Chains A and B, each alone.
Chain A
């Protein structure tokens, strides 16, 4: 049932191949807690703005009790003051743990959706950042176009005929009583009507074209452009990034370069070697000037790389910028791994999935067995040593794991966490703003604390695959103080 709810929306969202936070993957998935209640929130944003998003909230408990769930979208600069009453999420037939509702996203930009759950155990709110942008220009289907054209021609011809009848026939007693003069006036009136209505129709067509052009040029989302070069001038080769300034004034606001750090990093950069997808790097470039970032080039095999840079703006708007870069052979200093100048959280990996598809080094994929388009799944991985004993996972940048998911042809790329697809810094920003507005203490920012979380050696990433096909997944975590990467292939089947 939930698959059906999501599938229709996600299926044609998948056709957009659009860039937003992540690439080609606009469904927002969040695993977290609303007070004492663990929930999974999934938001399928609309492809146009203003538009309606579908939101589902699943209570992730053995026996979900009777609770009331409400949802409320809050625009980033509006806040809770001036928000309307929340909508109640209604139960989905056949699935007692699932509720659904609609969110009306009336303007472009960054929203936080407040999901409030209240019941016997108390109440709480989960805050889910959602990006509202127009990503699709809908072409008119042939059938509808033919129908409207036929009706339009009918109306046009009808209008001209009516003018002639009005001038000539309606004022006479009967058809034979028409004089020659009246017939002539009728013809002149019809000709004038043809000219006037024809001009009006032409003007209307121009108006439609203007609206369409305005939509395509000004209202549809375009990510910030990104350029990357490889610099080998000093002792340590660098990757230099630039966000060209003419692309920087996006339609959302003037402050698209006002980035906020996510787990202490202004930018999370992924490099994936194409087309073999046999090398990955996860780097954290430093900002050297308003439009410029740089990072030490890690030891990666030579080749052409696709770059994905995740950033989050001050208003909570998260996006993924992308470009390509050629890396030559021997592209790093010999002592790179122990160099003190690089960010210790930078990691890199070369390798392909193992033959059996289930284990990659210390990491094993333990579920789910079947993945279908449009269904929310928890991609589960476990760390085991050679003897099969569970290994404790340690936080890597504050989280038990990071996963980079890419469809082999590049139309989908997502960088996700155990909390889902959201930008954690956006969520923190909204939570702080909400706390200030309601007079509650601000939530603590745990992102910089390396907490030792008790775990059983497994980590799960919730995700909704937007298209069928083959995907490669890189999973990163820390084991015994070192970053460990595993790579896996999964096949996502269509929902037939």
Chain B
């Protein structure tokens, strides 16, 4: 239950700075991912030790070492009450979230030699999604998710700062989701059926889970706000750095690091979710959960989709072509030349809009929000 006041002795409580290091590590990885994508869109070629890669691996390694250290300390040096206050995994004892972080770090380390062999066997990267990269992503998601659960545990045990960290890390999970689907969420695709279906099938899960598990009144809003501020930071800071493209052929010359597109307006549905959720309470009740999920689906259909529809239309006009929005400045060196009409048009409109598209997206949002709410119930009970 959230808001519990009984405080059990817990190893992480002995080392409160652990959480701070974990959050810093997650920020490092969260920065490295989109930075690396920008690198590939601008400079084109990289080796293993680019700053972006180091940021990613540093985040994963630090989180893994911190949680590994915590596990070793708790297993061998903690007091009995402290050991009972955490879970048992294959004989070792540590908070549940710490084991997930360790799993994630091992996965990221496994991905290293696997990816190196893959490049020697099948060629250097031209795709984001290859089997070794998937192992890396799973590891990265696990590191973030495990850190999130560690923070959640502190929140559920009464920490004052943990609730804020919980929402901020939740926002970084939203950011990772948006980054993985960067191609599918591209501005020019935001009038297609696929875009609305995919956003409906992903974001409501996290937003409802955060809304349910957070102790804060505006938890989901804070998470969505974190996502938007973080991505805006990338949009504004990356283009300040000049860069030289090192691979040809260059069909779209660039001279600064290419930023990601402006973030999606998740803060609006998040705000709406936070506004309406209180009457639904916090009990595990299927009727209430179904009703809540239906409400979230309606919020996405009535609020998020129209917002993105009109914002993306604005985004493709010259009015958005400035440093703040970075409209038309998100094209990598392999894109069509500047001024090509295609760059300012909506794509995949042949899969365009019919009532059935709304039904599909609304249905997906409903199911996913229901899952998210149930997941949020579980998260709010995490004690160890």
Q: Which residues of A contact B (CB under 8 A)?
A: 48-52, 73-75, 78, 81-85, 87, 104, 106, 134, 137-138, 140, 144, 147-148, 151-152, 154-155, 158-159, 161-162, 165-167, 169-175, 204, 207-208, 211-212, 215, 219
> Do A175 and B88 touch (CB < 8 A)?
yes
> Do B89 and A148 touch (CB < 8 A)?
no
Q: Are A172 and B384 CB-contacts (below 8 A) given A51-B123, A84-B247?
A: yes
A75 / chain B contacts, CB cutoff of 8 Å: 248-249
User: In whole angstroms, how far apart are the Cα atoms of A209 and B44 in the complex?
Assistant: 28
Q: Please, what's the 1-or-0 string for B227-267, where 1 marks a CB less than 8 Å from any CB in chain A?
A: 00000000000000000111111110000000000000000
Given contacts A48-B119, A106-B247, A155-B106, 8 further A-B contacts (CB under 8 A): A106-B126, A144-B117, A151-B106, A162-B100, A169-B88, A170-B384, A173-B384, A204-B134
Q: Are A211 and B131 CB-contacts (below 8 A) given A151-B110, A169-B88?
A: yes
Among B71-79, B201-209, B296-304, B375-383, the stretch that binds chain A is B375-383
User: In whole angstroms, how far apart are the Cα atoms of A52 and B45 in the complex?
Assistant: 11
Question: Most chain-A CB neighbours within 10 Å: which of B100, B119, B123, B251?
Answer: B123
User: Lowest 5 CB-CB distances: which A-B pairs, in order?
Assistant: A78-B249, A82-B249, A170-B96, A138-B121, A171-B381
> Do B123 and A49 touch (CB < 8 A)?
yes
* B13 in contact (CB, < 8 A): no
B106 / chain A contacts, CB cutoff of 8 Å: 151, 154-155, 158
* B87 in contact (CB, < 8 A): yes
Q: State which of B96, B110, B250 has its C-beta within 8 Å of the C-beta of A165.
A: B96
Q: Please, what's the 1-or-0 string for B104-138, where 1 marks a CB less than 8 Å from any CB in chain A?
A: 00110110011001011111111000110010000
B244 / chain A contacts, CB cutoff of 8 Å: 84-85
- The tally of residues in B whose CB lies under 8 Å from a CB in A reads 45
A48 / chain B contacts, CB cutoff of 8 Å: 119-124
* B35 in contact (CB, < 8 A): no
Q: Please, what's the 1-or-0 string for B147-184, where 1 marks a CB less than 8 Å from any CB in chain A?
A: 00100000000000000000000000000000000000
Q: Are A204 and B131 CB-contacts (below 8 A) given A84-B246, A137-B121?
A: yes
User: In whole angstroms, how far apart are the Cα atoms of A233 and B84 in the complex?
Assistant: 96
Q: Are A174 and B123 CB-contacts (below 8 A) given A75-B248, A83-B248, A211-B131?
A: no
Q: Please, what's the 1-or-0 string for B281-301, where 1 marks a CB less than 8 Å from any CB in chain A?
A: 000000000000000000000
> Do A169 and B247 touch (CB < 8 A)?
no
Q: Are A208 and B131 CB-contacts (below 8 A) given A151-B106, A170-B87?
A: yes
User: In whole angstroms, how far apart are the Cα atoms of A167 and B88 in the complex?
Assistant: 13
Q: State which of A50, A52, A174 has its C-beta within 8 Å of the C-beta of B126.
A: A50
A175 / chain B contacts, CB cutoff of 8 Å: 84, 88
* B196 in contact (CB, < 8 A): no
> Do B121 and A159 touch (CB < 8 A)?
no
* B90 in contact (CB, < 8 A): yes
B87 / chain A contacts, CB cutoff of 8 Å: 165, 169-170
Q: List 9 A-B contacts (CB under 8 A).
A: A52-B124, A82-B248, A106-B247, A169-B384, A170-B149, A170-B383, A207-B131, A211-B130, A215-B122
Please, which residue of chain B has its CB at the minimum distance from the CB of A168?
A: B87
* B85 in contact (CB, < 8 A): yes
> Do A78 and B96 touch (CB < 8 A)?
no
> Do A165 and B89 touch (CB < 8 A)?
yes
> Do B251 and A82 touch (CB < 8 A)?
yes
User: In whole angstroms, how far apart are the Cα atoms of A82 and B85 in the complex?
Assistant: 62
User: In whole angstroms, how far apart are the Cα atoms of A161 and B89 in the complex?
Assistant: 8
Q: Are A162 and B85 CB-contacts (below 8 A) given A138-B120, A172-B383?
A: no
A169 / chain B contacts, CB cutoff of 8 Å: 87-88, 96, 384
Please, which residue of chain B has its CB at the minimum distance from the CB of A150?
A: B110
* Nearest CB on A from B249, distance (A): 4
> Do B245 and A174 touch (CB < 8 A)?
no
* Nearest CB on B from A113, distance (A): 12
Please, which residue of chain A has its CB at the minimum distance from the CB of B119?
A: A48
User: In whole angstroms, how far apart are the Cα atoms of A155 and B122 in the complex?
Assistant: 25
Q: State which of B8, B110, B134, B245 has its C-beta within 8 Å of the C-beta of A84.
A: B245
Please, which residue of chain A has its CB at the minimum distance from the CB of B153?
A: A170
A165 / chain B contacts, CB cutoff of 8 Å: 87-89, 96, 99
User: In whole angstroms, how far apart are the Cα atoms of A85 and B243 in the complex?
Assistant: 12
B100 / chain A contacts, CB cutoff of 8 Å: 162
User: In whole angstroms, how far apart are the Cα atoms of A106 and B149 in the complex?
Assistant: 42
* B103 in contact (CB, < 8 A): yes
A78 / chain B contacts, CB cutoff of 8 Å: 248-249
Please, which residue of chain A has its CB at the minimum distance from the CB of B381?
A: A171
User: In whole angstroms, how far apart are the Cα atoms of A212 and B134 in the complex?
Assistant: 16
User: In whole angstroms, how far apart are the Cα atoms of A335 and B247 in the complex?
Assistant: 58
User: In whole angstroms, how far apart are the Cα atoms of A219 and B122 in the complex?
Assistant: 9
Q: Please, what's the 1-or-0 string for B347-384, where 1 marks a CB less than 8 Å from any CB in chain A?
A: 00000000000000000000000000000001001111
User: In whole angstroms, how far apart are the Cα atoms of A166 and B119 in the complex?
Assistant: 36
A144 / chain B contacts, CB cutoff of 8 Å: 113, 117
* Nearest CB on B from A345, distance (A): 39
Question: Most chain-A CB neighbours within 10 Å: which of B45, B124, B131, B134?
Answer: B124
* Nearest CB on B from A167, distance (A): 8
* Nearest CB on A from B296, distance (A): 24
User: In whole angstroms, how far apart are the Cα atoms of A137 and B89 in the complex?
Assistant: 40
> Do A174 and B248 touch (CB < 8 A)?
no
Please, which residue of chain A has its CB at the minimum distance from the CB of B95?
A: A170
User: In whole angstroms, how far apart are the Cα atoms of A474 and B233 in the complex?
Assistant: 67
A51 / chain B contacts, CB cutoff of 8 Å: 123-124
User: In whole angstroms, how far apart are the Cα atoms of A48 and B124 in the complex?
Assistant: 8
Please, which residue of chain B has its CB at the minimum distance from the CB of A137?
A: B121
* Nearest CB on A from B212, distance (A): 14
Q: State which of B8, B109, B247, B382 has its C-beta within 8 Å of the C-beta of A171.
A: B382
> Do B384 and A82 touch (CB < 8 A)?
no
* Nearest CB on A from B204, distance (A): 21
> Do B248 and A74 touch (CB < 8 A)?
yes
Please, which residue of chain B has its CB at the minimum distance from the CB of A48?
A: B123
User: In whole angstroms, how far apart are the Cα atoms of A467 and B8 in the complex?
Assistant: 70
> Do B250 and A83 touch (CB < 8 A)?
yes
Please, which residue of chain A has its CB at the minimum distance from the CB of B382?
A: A170
* Nearest CB on A from B343, distance (A): 17
> Do A161 and B90 touch (CB < 8 A)?
yes
Please, which residue of chain A has its CB at the minimum distance from the CB of B130?
A: A211
> Do A50 and B124 touch (CB < 8 A)?
yes
> Do B96 and A166 touch (CB < 8 A)?
yes
* Nearest CB on B from A432, distance (A): 19
> Do A171 and B378 touch (CB < 8 A)?
yes
User: In whole angstroms, how far apart are the Cα atoms of A148 and B85 in the complex?
Assistant: 34
Q: Are A162 and B110 CB-contacts (below 8 A) given A138-B120, A170-B96, A172-B384?
A: no
Q: Please, what's the 1-or-0 string for B47-86, where 1 marks a CB less than 8 Å from any CB in chain A?
A: 0000000000000000000000000000000000000110
User: In whole angstroms, how far apart are the Cα atoms of A154 and B109 in the complex?
Assistant: 13
Please, which residue of chain B has its CB at the minimum distance from the CB of A141?
A: B117
B248 / chain A contacts, CB cutoff of 8 Å: 73-75, 78, 82-84
A159 / chain B contacts, CB cutoff of 8 Å: 103
Q: Are A162 and B99 CB-contacts (below 8 A) given A50-B123, A148-B114?
A: yes
User: In whole angstroms, how far apart are the Cα atoms of A48 and B117 in the complex?
Assistant: 12
A106 / chain B contacts, CB cutoff of 8 Å: 124, 126, 247
> Do B120 and A174 touch (CB < 8 A)?
no
> Do A211 and B383 touch (CB < 8 A)?
no
A212 / chain B contacts, CB cutoff of 8 Å: 122
User: In whole angstroms, how far apart are the Cα atoms of A33 and B246 in the complex?
Assistant: 26
A49 / chain B contacts, CB cutoff of 8 Å: 123
* Nearest CB on B from A150, distance (A): 10
Please, which residue of chain B has its CB at the minimum distance from the CB of A208?
A: B131
> Do A155 and B96 touch (CB < 8 A)?
no
User: In whole angstroms, how far apart are the Cα atoms of A162 and B45 in the complex?
Assistant: 38
Q: State which of A52, A82, A152, A207 has its C-beta within 8 Å of the C-beta of B250.
A: A82
